[in-house]
């Protein structure tokens, strides 16, 4: 192909912002297509036809009828929504359900998730292999375990196919299912091998994607290095070490139109790096909303899933230290019941000093980013993390664990960085003691208003957009296409 012809990428993903989102995966899937357009890359995203997807789809054209997709007929619908070019799998028996993409409203995984996301991989492979003649992708780009089987269906079911990339957003979610499902998934017996879908006696969706893709990426260079080690590899480090020449880390960005404090319609007062002062109005509104005492205390914020990964149980442990400095805390999140309860209790016991909202609230997330002084992310591991990048953009100093993408996006305000004028936040090793020390360091920094404002300006000027990373993905696609295909 010539360099001027656009590269066509079939992106395969189980959630996409703003249609369906449970985490950062949706943000990435939703933002990358627009970021890649200036790089001459056309991204068409294949998504399950959940009710929210079918409802949002515009300019709908049916492009393929499938007589039998795991028990019932299905249709592929090409359409657009919010500037995204999509192909939705209209298969009511698989996707027309309430709740989030993975769980029923009672919080339990759908019992047929293997088939639901097997179907996503199967359709992806047939599209990639040319099932719709007018649509011939050059690259199949699969995200996380839910899309992991695409590479397997391609390898074991089709003669030809495009180049393939698997991106890992979180190695903890591996999509492991009983080996007995192999026939139900319509995979041939030879797929169940150490080089294919088999993983410790089960079918591993993510493992298949990692073993069979032409290239593996993950969402930060540090996480790409970490996951080759037993400490972070979640049992897949051996495979990742074998494939080390085919694994790279490309940082996420954030959508700087959605996250722009100068234009954000969800915040009380707009501001930018040259006019930071209006932030104070956001802080006042935030405090009022959460019932926090109206003094000039340093306000720490948390916007996060409440899970082991995020290390927020450590924050509960060090809360007495945080409060002893005179600081306040606001937490927005949802997740593990015990952790939710711990923050609800803290807000009750420390009324006026700790505020807590359990739930998913886009608007409040923006207000916290615009009104808190610092954002806490004590993650035990963090493939990339997006909230700290939003925080940088909004002048909320990220106080983050030195892991994964947090290590790659925040510049610690050590003495040298302050002297050089380059610090943008605070980093620490994710242990209780070091989190405590980081809170004390942040408090000390806060007391020096001049330095704090300087760090805020540095943070707000950091480039957290998709531009650099979009160029890297485009280059990766070009490099793969330049290699000899199958
Ligand atoms: P992860 O994908 O591991 O949850 P990320 O930091 O990559 O973490 O992305 C999470 C995204 O979801 C961020 O944009 C964050 O602001 C947002 N988010 C997390 N929890 C909530 C919540 N309770 N309400 C609103 N937004 C949330
Ligand atoms: C995952 C990771 C998070 C990352 C996001 C998007 O949810 O936990 O660190 O930012 O995917 O890549």
CATH at residue 101: 3.40.50.2000
- Atom from ligand 1 closest to the CA of residue 386: 6
Q: Tell whether 240 and 322 lie within a shared domain.
A: no
Q: Is residue 263 part of a domain?
A: no
Please state the rounded mean pLDDT for residues 208-235: 98
State the distance from the centre of ligand 2 to the C-alpha of 314, rounded, in angstroms: 20
- Ligand 1 pocket member 128 (CB < 6 A): no
Whole-Å CA distances, 477 to 7, 129, 142: 8, 17, 13
Q: How many domains does the chain have?
A: 2
Stated as kind and residue range, the H or E segment containing 44 is strand 41-48
Burial pattern 147-186, b for ≥16 Cβ within 10 A else e, equals bbbbbbbbbbbeeebbbbbbbbbbbebbbbbeeeebeebb
Q: Tell whether 248 and 321 lie within a shared domain.
A: no
Q: Tell whether 78 and 217 lie within a shared domain.
A: yes
Q: Is residue 201 part of a domain?
A: yes
Report pLDDT digits (tens) over 252-281.
Answer: 999 999 999 999 999 999 999 999 999 999
Ligand 2 mutation pick, 169, 307, 391, 407, max ligand atoms within 8 A of CB? 169
SS3 388: helix
Report pLDDT digits (tens) over 73-125.
Answer: 999 999 999 999 999 999 999 999 998 999 999 889 999 999 999 999 999 99
State the distance from the centre of ligand 2 to the C-alpha of 353, rounded, in angstroms: 30
Q: Tell whether 412 and 474 lie within a shared domain.
A: no
Number of residues written out for the chain? 486
Pocket of ligand 2, beta carbon within 6 A:
23-25, 28, 169-170, 219, 252, 382-386, 405
Please state the rounded mean pLDDT for residues 136-162: 97
Q: Are 384 and 23 in contact (CB under 8 A)?
A: no
Whole-prediction pTM? 0.96
- Ligand 1 pocket member 26 (CB < 6 A): no
Q: Tell whether 309 and 189 lie within a shared domain.
A: no
Report pLDDT digits (tens) over 153-197.
Answer: 999 999 999 999 999 999 999 999 999 999 999 999 999 999 999
- Ligand 1 pocket member 24 (CB < 6 A): yes
Backbone angles phi, psi at 23, to 5 degrees: -170, -165
Burial pattern 198-237, b for ≥16 Cβ within 10 A else e, equals bbeebbbbbbbbbbbbbbbbbbbbbbbbbbbeeebbbebb
Measured by CA distance, the residue closest to atom 5 of ligand 2 is 24
- Atom from ligand 1 closest to the CA of residue 309: 3
Q: Tell whether 170 and 220 lie within a shared domain.
A: yes
State the distance from the centre of ligand 1 to the C-alpha of 386, rounded, in angstroms: 7
Stated as kind and residue range, the H or E segment containing 363 is helix 362-371
Whole-Å CA distances, 235 to 170, 174, 202, 229: 13, 10, 13, 9
Q: Which ligand is nearest to the CA of 384?
A: 2
Q: Tell whether 39 and 172 lie within a shared domain.
A: yes
Report pLDDT digits (tens) over 295-323.
Answer: 999 999 999 999 999 999 999 999 999 99
- Atom from ligand 1 closest to the CA of residue 382: 3
Backbone angles phi, psi at 152, to 5 degrees: -70, -45
What is the reported pLDDT for 142? 98
State the distance from the centre of ligand 2 to the C-alpha of 171, rounded, in angstroms: 10
Q: Is residue 401 part of a domain?
A: yes
Q: Is residue 262 part of a domain?
A: no
State the residue range of the domain holding 322. Answer: 279-461
Distance from C-alpha of 486 to C-alpha of 61, rounded to nearest angstrom:
31
Q: Is residue 211 part of a domain?
A: yes
Q: Tell whether 131 and 238 lie within a shared domain.
A: yes
Q: Tell whether 169 and 152 lie within a shared domain.
A: yes
Q: Tell whether 322 and 211 lie within a shared domain.
A: no
Ligand 2 mutation pick, 24, 146, 403, 409, max ligand atoms within 8 A of CB? 24
State the distance from the centre of ligand 1 to the C-alpha of 303, rounded, in angstroms: 6
Q: Is residue 425 part of a domain?
A: yes
- Atom from ligand 1 closest to the CA of residue 333: 23
Task: For residue 304, give every residue at least 6 positions away whose Cβ sits within 8 Å of its Cβ, in sequence order, or none.
Answer: 310, 312, 332, 333, 335, 377, 387
What is the reported pLDDT for 384? 98
pLDDT value at 486 more than 60: no
Q: Which ligand is nearest to the CA of 363?
A: 1
Strands 374-377 and 397-401: parallel
User: How does DSSP classify residue 144?
Assistant: T
% of the chain surpassing 90 pLDDT: 97
Q: Tell whether 455 and 475 lie within a shared domain.
A: no
Q: Is residue 1 part of a domain?
A: no
Quote the crossing angle between the two packed helices 149-157 and 205-212, to the nearest 10°.
60
**Structure token digits, residue 397:** 């100093």
Strand order in the sheet with 215-218: 58-69, 72-81, 84-90, 41-48, 7-12, 139-143, 163-168, 215-218, 247-249
- Ligand 1 pocket member 334 (CB < 6 A): yes
**Structure token digits, residue 380:** 């035990």
Measured by CA distance, the residue closest to atom 7 of ligand 2 is 24
**Structure token digits, residue 122:** 């199967």
State the distance from the centre of ligand 2 to the C-alpha of 450, rounded, in angstroms: 34
Report pLDDT digits (tens) over 320-376.
Answer: 999 999 999 999 999 999 999 999 999 999 999 999 999 999 999 999 999 999 999
Q: Tell whether 241 and 290 lie within a shared domain.
A: no
Q: Is residue 179 part of a domain?
A: yes
């Amino acid at each position: 192909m010539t360099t001027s012809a656009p590269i066509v990428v079939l992106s395969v993903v189980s959630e996409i912002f703003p249609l369906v989102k449970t985490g950062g995966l949706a943000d990435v899937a939703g933002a990358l297509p627009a970021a890649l357009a200036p790089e001459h890359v056309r991204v068409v995203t294949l998504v399950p036809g959940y009710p929210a997807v079918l409802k949002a789809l515009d300019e709908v054209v049916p492009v393929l009828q499938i007589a039998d997709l795991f028990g019932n007929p299905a249709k592929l619908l090409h359409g657009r929504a919010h500037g995204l070019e999509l192909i939705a799998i209209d298969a009511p028996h698989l996707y027309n359900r309430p709740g989030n993409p993975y769980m029923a409203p009672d919080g339990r995984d759908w019992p047929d998730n293997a088939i639901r996301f097997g179907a996503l991989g199967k359709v992806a492979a047939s599209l990639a292999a040319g099932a719709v003649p007018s649509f011939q992708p050059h690259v199949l780009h699969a995200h996380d375990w839910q899309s992991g089987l695409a590479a397997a269906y391609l390898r074991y079911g089709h003669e030809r196919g495009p180049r393939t990339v698997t991106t890992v957003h979180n190695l903890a979610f591996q999509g492991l299912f009983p080996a007995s499902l192999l026939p139900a998934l319509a995979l041939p017996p030879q797929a169940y091998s150490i080089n294919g879908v088999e993983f410790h006696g089960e079918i591993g969706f993510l493992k298949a994607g990692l073993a069979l893709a032409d290239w593996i990426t993950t969402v930060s260079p540090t996480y790409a290095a970490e996951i080759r080690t037993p400490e972070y590899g979640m049992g897949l480090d051996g495979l990742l070490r074998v494939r080390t020449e085919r694994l790279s880390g490309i940082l996420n960005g954030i959508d700087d139109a959605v996250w722009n404090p100068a234009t954000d319609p969800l915040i009380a007062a707009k501001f930018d790096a040259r006019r930071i002062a209006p932030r104070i109005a956001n802080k006042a509104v935030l405090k009022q909303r959460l019932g926090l005492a109206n003094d000039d205390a340093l306000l720490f914020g948390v916007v996060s899933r409440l899970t082991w990964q995020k290390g927020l149980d450590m924050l509960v442990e060090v809360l007495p230290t945080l409060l002893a400095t005179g600081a306040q805390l606001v937490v927005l999140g949802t997740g593990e019941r015990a952790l939710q309860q711990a923050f609800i209790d803290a807000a009750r016991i420390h009324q006026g000093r700790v505020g807590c909202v359990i739930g998913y609230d886009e608007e409040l997330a923006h207000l916290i980013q615009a009104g808190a002084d610092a954002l806490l992310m004590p993650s035990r591991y963090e493939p990339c993390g997006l909230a700290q990048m939003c925080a940088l953009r909004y002048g909320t100093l990220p106080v983050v664990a030195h892991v994964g993408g947090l290590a790659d996006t925040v510049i610690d305000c050590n003495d040298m960085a302050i002297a050089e004028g380059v610090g943008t936040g605070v980093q620490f090793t994710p242990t209780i003691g070091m989190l405590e020390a980081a809170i004390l360091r942040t408090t000390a920094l806060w007391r020096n208003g001049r330095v704090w404002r300087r760090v805020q300006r540095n943070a707000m000027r950091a480039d957290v957009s998709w531009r650099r990373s979009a160029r890297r993905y485009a280059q990766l696609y070009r490099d793969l296409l330049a290699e000899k295909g199958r």
